[in-house]
A and B are shown apart, each in its own frame.
Chain A
Amino acid sequence: MAGFKPGAWARRPSRVGVGAALLAAVAVAGVAAGCGADPAPGLIQAVGAENQYANVISQIGGRYVQVTAVVSNPNTDPHSFQASAQVARTLSSAELVVQNGLGYDTFMGEIEAASPNSSRRVIDVRRLLGLPDSTRNPHLWYEPSTMPRVAAAVARDLAAIDPAHRAYFEANASAFTRSLAAWSAAVAGLRADFDGVPVATTEPVADYLLQAAGLDNLTPWTFQAAVMNGVDPSAQDVSRVRALFTGHRVRAFVYNRQVTDSLTQSLLQLARQNGIPVVAVYETMPAGHDYQTWMTAEVNALRVALAEGRSTTSL
């Protein structure tokens, strides 16, 4: 975890709009001003667009890399304006960048375009996984096969930047992938015990994980997409989702912990009234976790909900 600076730039992802434009403007202004922060000498400068990617870079790069996360839990860092220009400066001198793609962190491409740097290596996870741009669920890090491939790509790029430590980076990448075994086993266990069990969600944050665990998400996609994109779901979809609760047709309600809108609140209340356990999921890595423990905690929370009917509202 050497050199890992969490939460430099708090911004909730996937809410593209006024905020994104403003952010980009502020960030670009920071680059144009050109007052560079002092990077630690001798360390590879790397940026993870979301803190889960920053965490993986940090686990692979270890003591040879200084990693900055752009987006982390919005509730942990209110210094968004000050820090944004700072992150833009870091990005302008970064040698390795990992970003999600799929419109989740469009601002990254904008900042990168504003500060061209031919020696900067950018890993776009969507492209790395060979997914089409039309992929509708951008929460790629919940898919168990994603991070091993990211880790391998990070090790490859770090080795290209710093060939002397190739073996170190490759060993870290292997260790990282091995450390995901506990999570994989937990997912497989969930699938063995609860294959096909129906659940409901607010948005598709953890949908890849739910699929991997064999759970059946009965929430209409149009509802999930509307909530994810910050627009109102249709009245039909809202009543359909409410019926999942009132009709006791789902065994758990998986909601985005980082959203505090009235729709989420009213569905949480409805779930409680109908005795349906709720499971909080996060778009970015919560404090006190690394990627592996975070994912394992999510799966354990799902198991506790399905097996014991207990809710988890915070990791």
Chain B
Amino acid sequence: MGAVSAIFAAGFFQNGSVHAALLAGAVAALVTGAVGTFTVLRGQSFAGHATGEVAATGGSAAMLGGLNPLWGYLGIAVIVAGAIEALGVQRPRARDLATGLVLGAGLGIAGLLLYLDTTGTSTSGAAVTVLFGSLFAVTRSALPGMVALGGVSLALVVLTYRLQLLTALSPDLAAARGVPVRLVSLAYLLSLAVAVSLAAETVGAVLATALLIGPPATALRLTKRPGLAVLGSGLIGVAAAWAGTVLAYDSYYWPPAGRSWPPSFLIVAVVFGLYLGSGAVQRVRGRRRAPLAPGAVPAATA
């Protein structure tokens, strides 16, 4: 019992905010981890990041309308994902530019909407909630929706797993074999939209990338088997989300006493720590051959 009370500060298991945070964090991390594996394999980390950040526009608009930001994140993320597919920009440079432009314009609108949130409707802390998340303040009524959305997103990638993998690693080969590449990409982008919305709701629109890219990058350092990487990435994400939640709760007793450190920061710190740790594991294993890792992939997709 001594060890348990050393890790979990008093009241952790009885606290309603903690229960909601653990559930929301687990759902978001599991889905983003799994979907993000394909993002990393496709070499589209920046597009994934942009989708999350532009979702801030929807989140702040939803708050202005008195809605839960989740629905705003989702609406915009689906639109952005649809736009990426409609443009169908395959050349990396043009895609990079288009993504950057949309990102800048979207965040600009988010800046205006957050200003209106703060001045017009007095939604206190709207900017922090939308951009950096408020895990302990996740609205309980949004939880069933989060679980359902997460289930749909996971089902989309799991049901199309083989096609997703082939399309991610070699779209040309996939097309040659008769895979409906655009349809597969659309399924991926829809699950990406859901994933970043869930991540934005828990750790904020800006930090959604950390959950989307960090756990997959870590998992892909530890295993060469893509199926295991998808599963492992989801589990690594959940572990990071839960560890961050525990640390945030415990941080009440850290300086400055009586205030909690933001859960988003702690979750992202754990994600990054795990990635660094995976590098150490990789070195200890002394592998000669490069595993299936982000650095190895762009050559195949470019």
Contact A262 B137 (CB under 8 A): yes
Give chain A residues whose Cβ lies under 8 Å from the Cβ of B66: 260
CB-based nearest B residue for A221: B258
Contact of A235 among B17, B118, B123 (CB under 8 A): B17
CB distance from B259 to the nearest CB of A (A): 6
- CA–CA, A23 to B111, complex, Å? 12
Find A12's partner among B9, B15, B122 (CB 8 Å cutoff).
B122
Q: Quick check: is B134 within 8 A (CB to CB) of the other chain?
A: yes
Kindly supply a per-residue 1/0 record for chain A positions 5-30, scoring 1 wherever the CB is within 8 Å of any chain B CB and 0 otherwise. 00000111001011100110000000
- Name the B residues within 8 Å of A230 (CB-CB): 124-128
B11 contacts partner chain A, Cβ-Cβ < 8 Å:
yes
Known: A232-B260, A236-B252, A262-B139. A227 touches B115 (CB 8 A): no
Distance between A87 CB and nearest chain B CB, rounded to angstroms? 13
**Closest A residue, CB atoms, query B131:** A18
Residue of B nearest to A78 (CB): B120
Taken residue by residue from 97 to 130, chain B's Cβ proximity to chain A (1 for < 8 Å, 0 otherwise) reads as 0000000000000010011001111111111110
Known: A17-B118, A18-B114. A260 touches B123 (CB 8 A): yes
Q: Which of A74, A232, A239 contacts B121 (CB 8 A)?
A: A74
Q: Do A259 and B124 touch across chains, with their CB atoms under 8 A apart?
A: yes
State whether B122 touches A260 (Cβ < 8 A): yes
**Contact assessment for B15 and A236 in the assembled complex, using a CB-CB cutoff below 8 Å:** yes
Which residues on A sit within 8 Å (CB–CB) of B258?
220-222, 234, 237
A232 engages B122 (CB within 8 Å): no
- Chain A contacts of B16 at CB under 8 A? 239, 242
A236 in contact with B122 (CB, 8 Å) = no
State the interface size on chain B (CB cutoff 8 A): 37
User: In the complex, what residues of A have CB within 8 A of residue B115's CB?
Assistant: 18-19, 22-23
| Best-buried of B114, B129, B260, B262 by chain A (most CB within 10 Å) | B260
> Known: A11-B119, A236-B15, A238-B17. Is A261-B124 also a contact (CB below 8 A)?
yes
Q: Are A261 and B125 touching (Cβ within 8 A)?
A: yes
Whole-angstrom CA separation of A10 from B119 in the bound complex: 7
Report if A74-B15 is in contact (Cβ < 8 Å); known contacts: A22-B115, A234-B258, A234-B259.
Answer: no
Per-position 1/0 for B177-210, Cβ under 8 A of A: 0000000000000000000000000000000000
Chain A residues within an 8 Å CB radius of B122: 12, 15, 74-75, 258-260
> In the complex, what residues of A have CB within 8 A of residue B129's CB?
232
A15/B114 contact (C-beta < 8 A), A74-B120, A234-B260, A236-B15 known: no
**Does the CB pair A236–B11 fall under 8 Å?**
yes
Docked pose: A229 CA to B262 CA in angstroms? 14
Given A230-B125, A232-B134, A260-B66, A239 and B17 contact (CB-CB distance below 8 Å): yes
B contact face: mostly helix, strand, loop, or mixed: helix
Query: In the complex, are the beta carbons of A234 and B136 less than 8 A apart?
Result: yes
Interface residues of A in 233-281 (CB under 8 A from B): 233-239, 242, 258-263
- Quick check: is A80 within 8 A (CB to CB) of the other chain? yes
Q: Give the residues in chain B near A1, CB-CB below 8 Å.
A: none
Counting chain B CB atoms within 10 Å of each CB, the highest count among A221, A238, A261 belongs to: A261
Which B residues are CB-close (under 8 A) to A220?
A: 258
Note all chain B residues with C-beta closer than 8 A to A131. none
**Closest Cβ–Cβ distance, residue A21 to chain B (whole Å):** 9
Q: Give B213 Cβ to nearest chain A Cβ, in Å.
A: 25
Q: A22 and B260: CB pair below 8 A?
A: no
Nearest CB in chain A to that of B16: its residue: A239
Closest chain A residue to B245, Cβ basis:
A235
Residues B111 and A235 in contact, CB atoms below 8 Å apart: no
- Is A164's beta carbon under 8 Å from chain B? no
Would B124 and A227 count as touching, CB distance under 8 A? yes
Whether the Cβ atoms of A236 and B137 lie closer than 8 Å is no
Q: Which residue of chain B lies nearest to A71 when distances are taken between CB atoms in the complex?
A: B119
B136 with A260: CB separation less than 8 A: no
Instruction: Decide if B21 is an interface residue (CB 8 Å cutoff).
Output: yes
Among candidates A22, A74, A259, residue contacting B111 with C-beta atoms closer than 8 Å: A22
| Separation of A91 and B199 alpha carbons in the complex (Å) | 44
CB-CB < 8 A to A11: which residues of B?
118-119
Contact of A239 among B15, B127, B248, B262 (CB under 8 A): B15
Q: How far is the CA of A233 from the CA of B258 in the complex (A)?
A: 9
Contacts A234-B136, A260-B123 given; indicate if A19 touches B118 (C-beta within 8 A). Answer: yes
CA distance A237 to B249 in the complex (A): 11
* Residue A33 is within 8 A (CB to CB) of chain B in the complex: no
Instruction: Give 17 A-B contacts (CB < 8 Å), ordered by A residue.
Output: A12-B118, A18-B114, A18-B127, A23-B119, A74-B122, A229-B125, A232-B260, A234-B136, A234-B259, A235-B15, A235-B17, A235-B136, A236-B249, A236-B260, A242-B16, A259-B123, A260-B66
Beyond A18-B114, A236-B249, A262-B137: 14 further Cβ-contacts under 8 Å? A12-B118, A12-B124, A15-B122, A15-B125, A17-B128, A19-B118, A232-B129, A235-B260, A237-B252, A239-B17, A242-B16, A259-B123, A260-B66, A262-B139
